[in-house]
């Protein structure tokens, strides 16, 4: 016995030591000036540190089938080269599907510059300019000329000049071998881009300049004339200059895209999620506050209610958080805002295993067993229930990971690690401490606990028909409201559109904002104000964020603002996300149905799925009734509700299965009613502890995660109700041989 305890203690010490070593410090350590003195081991997602997430689609419609085949791969390589020279720390550039490219740029705050650098096709052309004033006059009058086209060029004085450029391209940019930024000595250090051709391109350039002395040569990039110098003499060096009214940064970016090469086809941004550093810091602060508040509430409750056993559960909970942090570091997982929500939820759910164990120990002690025997029997009886309950939640988390986007995958990762970690701490760590306390000369002989409900004898089954009517009425009202709202139920994740959130240094009247937006013809869009009227959130159909920011700068000069976030989802992405969300819910239901059928009976699976549909229906109705929207985080919350609800239901089902063997002469109604009453205390305790942490998330988690927390609050209450009044009673009303 002693040898076995030492072996377990050594194993736990080793696991916890590794977790501490791998996970410390979890976040960046900073000095008083805000400088990072030690980098954190857990990577933060873009929504916590700021940055950009882009999904591009490569438009190959104008390419031949042969060219289109490798265009996405070539575009990927060119974009990666541009970003590498842009100087982004740990960027992610990878291909998705047939013609899409995912880009993640941590810490990038200059959104306009980054998008311009990525999207620029960099198609460089050299064309001769017509020196016939008559032709120019005809073109300016609107006449179409077959061999020429009219182009407008900006001059250094911020004026424009009309040029008649030949359509024939005399030299392409694919002959380019280098492009660098240099500064002109004759024009007050004005930056320009110096370009160099390969030997073949240099020979062609020398021939063009030699044959056209006195004419102007237009340098055209992506259809825009940047400069059109007069050819003074033959240029045999193979070098040229692109001048224009550039800043040093603009000329540097132009040199980058020219060096990296031209994209084989245009790219279009179909999804964008930009988060400013201020919102990231705010999310971390609020997330940590929610974790700390929820954790303290649970720790205090467990210590007060279960006394010594509660302190053991608290210790296991702290170990659980250490193990999760270590696992996130080991797997190089990225912690996102939904991931913080997963941590908060894990705190509540990890207590569940200990509650199951302690309630079983209490029952065994009441049968007259010694404390050591009660602990051994309690763990043995609780083990199967804990495994069943957690595996069904794990199925939901894995399906979320499969069908979710980046942040939701972060949530699924944390939830999966949390489930496995909580099982380990409850089954191994809690057991070890209890065994140590009941071993030796000064062993513990009693494990006192408070009791929330003493021997309940409630006729739950007798209330089932009233519960059915109540639930049907509630779902009907919710679904009617949902149907009535139509497309208003769906956020931009599913419909497409743009969300723009700005934070001003001073409070700003809503009418002034609308007045400014009317100038660019977007005055009728939905606008929300919060945070003492300093923050505004604008929803638009089209991406006009650059025009809005420009107008804000001009109109509110004395009121500085910063971008908090910009989320853009194209219609095609919205359609894909909606399809993935539906698949995720369906596959979660199928996975749970198969598992419950395997572990119990098919009618148990039907009862569980009916309860899950009931819970999802009420949550969706609550979203519609409160005017909220379905988004990817809300779908994650709905699937988490599914996992939580089935967890609760499995505990009752497991007791029903056990009582069937013990109560052979009792009727089905008596068995089920007894089982619900036996698990009633555990159901209330688990719901209460989970509600504490989710309520902390709802109150302190911030605006971005508020809808997620709201759905979880409704889901926990509904899941507790459905496991008692819907899932279990259906076992009575479902036709079967035993009932007949």
DSSP-derived secondary structure letter, 122: -
Task: Give the residue from 231, 224, 101 showing the smallest Cα distance to 163.
Answer: 224
Same domain, 516 and 529: yes
* 78 in any annotated domain: yes
Contact 263, 101 (CB under 8 A): no
**The pLDDT of residue 160 is above 50:** yes
pLDDT per position as a tens digit, 281-307: 888 888 888 888 988 999 999 999 999
pLDDT per position as a tens digit, 240-274: 888 777 788 888 888 888 888 888 888 998 888 88
Exposure of 328 by Cβ count < 10 A (0-12 exposed, 13-18 middle, 19+ buried)? Answer: buried
pLDDT at 157: 66
Interatomic CA distance for residues 425 and 320, integer angstroms: 6
Q: What is the H or E stretch that residue 36 is in? A: strand 36-38
Choose the most confident range, by mean pLDDT, from 401-410, 442-451, 611-620, 685-694: 611-620
Mean model confidence pLDDT for the chain: 86
Mean pLDDT throughout 209-232? 89
Same domain, 301 and 384: yes
Confidence of residue 736 (pLDDT cuts 50, 70, 90): low
Residue length, the chain?
A: 740
Contact 127, 133 (CB under 8 A): no
pLDDT per position as a tens digit, 593-628: 888 888 888 889 889 999 999 999 999 999 999 999
* 55 in any annotated domain: yes
Same domain, 96 and 146: no
Confidence of residue 229 (pLDDT cuts 50, 70, 90): confident
How far is the CA of 270 from the CAs of 29, 108, 171, in angstroms? 37, 19, 33
Interatomic CA distance for residues 583 and 576, integer angstroms: 11
Across the strands, what pairs with 105? 52
Same domain, 402 and 464: yes
- State the CATH number of the domain containing residue 713: 1.20.1640.10
pLDDT per position as a tens digit, 653-673: 999 988 988 888 888 899 999
Structure tokens at 252: 């540097």
Q: Which residue segment(s) compose the domain that 646 sits in?
A: 277-441+460-485+574-733
Structure tokens at 108: 């990038």
pLDDT at 739: 41
pLDDT at 10: 86
pLDDT per position as a tens digit, 165-213: 999 999 988 888 888 988 887 667 788 888 899 999 999 999 999 999 9
Same domain, 619 and 723: yes
SS3 386: helix
Structure tokens at 281: 């810091």
Interatomic CA distance for residues 193 and 252, integer angstroms: 8
Same domain, 154 and 102: no
pLDDT at 2: 61
Mean pLDDT throughout 469-479? 96
Helix (H) and strand (E) counts in the chain: 23, 21
Contact 290, 700 (CB under 8 A): yes
Peptide bond preceding 25 in cis form (omega within 30 of 0): yes
pLDDT at 276: 85
Interatomic CA distance for residues 353 and 164, integer angstroms: 78
* 328 in any annotated domain: yes
Structure tokens at 316: 């296991």
Same domain, 232 and 338: no
Mean pLDDT throughout 410-418? 86
pLDDT at 738: 46
Which residue did the predictor score with more confidence, 727 or 589? 727
Largest Cα–Cα distance of the chain, in whole Å?
A: 112
Contact 593, 395 (CB under 8 A): no
Q: At what angle do helices 308-330 and 2-23 cross, to 10 degrees?
A: 50
Same domain, 149 and 110: no
DSSP string for 38-84:
E--SSEEPHHHH-EEEEEEEE--TTS-HHHHHHHHHHHHHHHHHHHH
Q: How many domains does the chain have?
A: 4
Mean pLDDT throughout 111-127? 88
Same domain, 533 and 580: no
pLDDT per position as a tens digit, 360-383: 999 899 888 999 999 999 999 888
Task: Give the residue from 296, 433, 442, 458 showing the smallest Cα distance to 358.
Answer: 433
Task: Report the range of poorest mean pLDDT among 99-103, 552-556, 700-704.
Answer: 700-704
pLDDT per position as a tens digit, 41-80: 888 888 888 888 899 999 888 888 888 888 899 899 999 8
Residue that terminates a domain, selected from 203, 228, 262: 262
pLDDT at 347: 80
Same domain, 710 and 663: yes
């Amino acid at each position: 016995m002693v040898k076995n305890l030492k072996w377990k203690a050594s194993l736990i010490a080793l696991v916890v030591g590794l977790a501490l070593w791998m996970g410390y410090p979890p976040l960046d350590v900073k000095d008083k000036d805000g400088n990072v003195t030690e980098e954190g081991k857990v990577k933060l997602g873009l929504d916590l540190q700021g940055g950009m997430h882009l999904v591009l689609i490569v438009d190959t419609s104008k390419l031949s089938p042969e060219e289109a085949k490798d265009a996405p791969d070539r575009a990927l390589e060119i974009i990666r080269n541009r970003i590498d020279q842009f100087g982004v720390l740990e960027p992610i550039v990878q291909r998705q599907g047939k013609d899409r490219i995912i880009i993640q740029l941590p810490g990038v705050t200059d959104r306009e510059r980054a998008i311009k650098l990525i999207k620029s096709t960099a198609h460089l052309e050299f064309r001769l300019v017509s020196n016939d004033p008559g032709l120019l006059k005809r073109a300016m009058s609107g006449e179409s000329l077959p061999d020429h086209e009219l182009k407008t060029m900006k001059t250094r004085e911020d004026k424009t000049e009309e040029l008649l450029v030949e359509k024939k391209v005399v030299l392409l940019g694919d002959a380019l071998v280098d492009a660098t930024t240099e500064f002109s000595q004759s024009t007050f250090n004005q930056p320009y881009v110096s370009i160099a051709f390969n030997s073949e391109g240099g020979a062609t350039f020398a021939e063009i300049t030699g044959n056209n002395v006195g004419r102007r040569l237009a340098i055209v990039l992506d259809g825009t004339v940047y400069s059109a110098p007069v050819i003074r003499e033959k240029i045999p060096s193979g070098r040229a200059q692109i001048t224009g009214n550039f800043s040093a940064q603009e000329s540097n970016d132009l040199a980058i895209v020219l060096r990296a090469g031209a994209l084989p086809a245009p790219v279009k941004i179909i999804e964008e999620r930009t988060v400013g550093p201020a919102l990231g810091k705010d999310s971390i602060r609020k997330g940590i506050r929610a974790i700390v508040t929820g954790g303290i509430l649970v720790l205090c409750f467990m210590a007060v209610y279960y006394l010594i056993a509660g302190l053991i559960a608290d210790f296991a909970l702290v170990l659980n958080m250490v193990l999760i942090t270590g696992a996130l570091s080991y797997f190089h997982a990225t912690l996102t805002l939904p991931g913080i929500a997963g941590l908060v939820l894990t705190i509540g759910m990890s207590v569940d295993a200990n509650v199951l164990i302690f309630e079983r120990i209490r029952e065994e002690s009441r049968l007259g067993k010694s404390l050591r025997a009660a602990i051994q029997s309690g763990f043995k009886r609780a083990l199967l229930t804990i495994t069943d309950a957690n595996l069904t939640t794990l199925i939901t988390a894995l399906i979320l990971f499969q069908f979710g986007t980046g942040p939701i995958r972060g949530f699924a990762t944390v939830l999966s690690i949390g489930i496995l970690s909580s099982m380990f701490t409850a089954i191994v760590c809690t057991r070890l401490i209890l065994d140590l306390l009941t071993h030796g000369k000064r062993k513990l002989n009693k494990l006192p606990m408070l009791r929330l409900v003493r021997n309940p004898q409630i006729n739950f089954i007798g209330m089932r028909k009233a519960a059915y009517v109540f639930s049907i009425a509630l779902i009907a009202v919710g679904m009617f409201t949902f149907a009535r709202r139509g497309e208003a139920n769906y956020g931009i994740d599913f419909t497409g559109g743009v969300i723009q959130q700005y934070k001003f240094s001073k409070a700003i009247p809503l009418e002034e904002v609308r007045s400014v937006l009317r100038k660019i013809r977007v005055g009728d869009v939905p606008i929300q104000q919060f945070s003492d009227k300093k923050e505004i959130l604008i929803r638009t159909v089209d991406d006009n964020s650059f025009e809005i920011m420009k107008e804000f700068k001009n109109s509110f000069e004395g009121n500085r603002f910063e971008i908090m976030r910009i989320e853009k989802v194209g219609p095609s992405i919205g359609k894909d996300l909606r399809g993935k969300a539906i698949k995720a819910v369906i596959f979660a239901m199928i996975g749970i149905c198969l598992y419950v059928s395997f572990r119990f009976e098919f009618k148990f699976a039907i009862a569980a799925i009916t309860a899950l549909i009931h819970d999802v229906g009420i949550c969706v109705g609550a979203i519609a009734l409160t005017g909220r929207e379905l988004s990817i985080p809300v779908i994650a919350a709905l699937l988490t509700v599914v996992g939580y609800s089935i967890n609760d239901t499995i505990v009752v089902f497991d007791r029903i299965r056990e009582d069937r063997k013990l109560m052979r002469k009792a009727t089905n109604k008596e068995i089920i009613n007894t089982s619900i009453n036996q698990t009633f205390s555990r159901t209330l305790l688990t719901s209460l502890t989970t509600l504490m942490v989710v309520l902390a998330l709802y109150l302190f988690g911030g605006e971005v995660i508020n809808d997620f927390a709201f759905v979880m609050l409704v889901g926990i209450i509904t899941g507790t109700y459905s496991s008692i009044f819907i899932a279990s009673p259906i076992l009575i009303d479902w036709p079967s041989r035993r009932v007949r």
